[in-house]
Amino acid sequence: MNALHEVRMLRPVHIDDAVRALAEDGAQPLAGGTDLLPNLRRGIGAPRALVDLTAVAALDAVAVRSDGSLRVGATATLAALADHVALHAGWPALAKAAGLVAGATHREAATLGGNLCQDTRCMFYNQSEWWRAGNGYCLKYRGDKCHVVVKSDRCYATYHGDVAPALIALDASAEIVGPGGARTLPLAALFVEDGKRRLTLAPGEWITAVVVPPTAGWRADYAKARVRDAVDFPLAGAAVALKRDGERLAGLRVAITGTNSAPRVVPTDALLGGPWDAASAQALAKAVQTTSNVLATSVATVRYRRRMAQALVCRLVDELWAGG
């Protein structure tokens, strides 16, 4: 285990102070630390300052607003979201996704913002310093090549977050602050399909909250496949939001995780206006296959993970359609 390098700890209580602290070169946000601290112990990353956001006033607030939308602060814990009465009543897919992350003790510490912005993972990256040094490091950190796709000029480390696809299917948006001010963007636009770059945040920017619109006739759910059902990251995960009008699909949003370097939106426009039947299920499964970029892992084959993603999506649509 590596000794941690010298690092300053800052704990602002006002959001403006947090913005200034995170604008410093080499500063990195810290909340639950369930993703960041294991990486630092492995010698991955060397921030000059860690900015603890857990004391910033109201940054953990969860509230249903007057327009019926839900606003969740970035430092709200996943345990709080999994148990929140308002989420179970209006956005149960979000509560379910939060409750499926890791184990119970992790969820007590892990936060919404940290879970959304978690690092991508790879068998050649999430290792000790001596192990990575022995393999010449990798393109994601300190190296110059990807050991998974050797001739690639980009990193193929995979995103395994559970909450992001649920929020994308729910058409959520992220509130972001930074040195340039505040902005809002669709949650799907937060991510980029590159395991090293990961996020579209500019230097010094960070998420303060996520806003989820009213469901307004939509029904949604999230499901995942993993080796150990109590704690593991998804080998494949899927979120679906569906609106049914009689015997036709009036709306369908699908997002997958665990298969790519970012949570991915599966195109569904071609299915709208028609029924949910065997033909549309086949077309949706094909769209999932086309969207996913599954690579081999140490525990599951490409074929298994791809077919599991397809099966999860179609099963969720089946269930939501039947319940609609």
| Each residue's pLDDT tens digit, 243-278 | 999 999 999 999 999 999 999 999 999 999 999 999
Is the model's pLDDT at 314 over the cut of 90?
yes
Q: Name, in order, each residue with C-beta under 8 angstroms of 112's C-beta and a sequence gap of 6 or more.
A: 72, 73, 74, 75, 76, 77, 78, 81, 98, 163, 210
* pTM of full prediction above 0.85: yes
Amino acid 4: pLDDT: 60
For the domain covering 62-117+158-323, report its CATH number.
Answer: 3.30.390.50
Q: What is the pLDDT of residue 231?
A: 85
Using 50, 70 and 90 to split pLDDT, how confident is the model at 13?
A: very high
* pLDDT of res. 51: 98
pLDDT digits (tens, 9 = 90+) for 46-96: 999 999 999 999 999 999 999 999 999 999 999 999 999 999 999 999 999
pLDDT above 60: residue 1: no
Element (H, E) at 116: helix 112-116
Domain ranges for the chain, please list them.
1-57, 62-117+158-323
Share of the chain above pLDDT 70, in %: 98
* Average pLDDT along the chain: 95
**What own/partner pairs with CB < 8 Å and gap ≥ 24 does 180-186 have?**
180/205, 182/208, 184/211
Rounded to whole angstroms, how far apart are CA atoms 259 and 250? 27
Q: Sign (positive/negative) of CA torsion 31, 173, 161, 135? A: negative
Topology given in CATH for the domain delimited by 1-57:
3.30.43
pLDDT at 233 over 80: yes
* Spatial contact of 256 and 235, defined as CB atoms under 8 Å apart: no
Pairing mode, strands 49-52 and 70-73: unpaired
Q: With cut-offs at 50, 70 and 90, classify the pLDDT of residue 298.
A: confident
* The pLDDT of residue 101: 97
For 114-166, what is each residue's pLDDT tens digit? 999 999 999 999 999 999 999 899 999 999 999 988 888 899 999 999 999 99
Rounded CA-CA distance 259/265 in Å is: 12
Question: pLDDT-derived band of residue 8, with 50, 70 and 90 as boundaries?
Answer: very high
pLDDT confidence of residue 2: 56
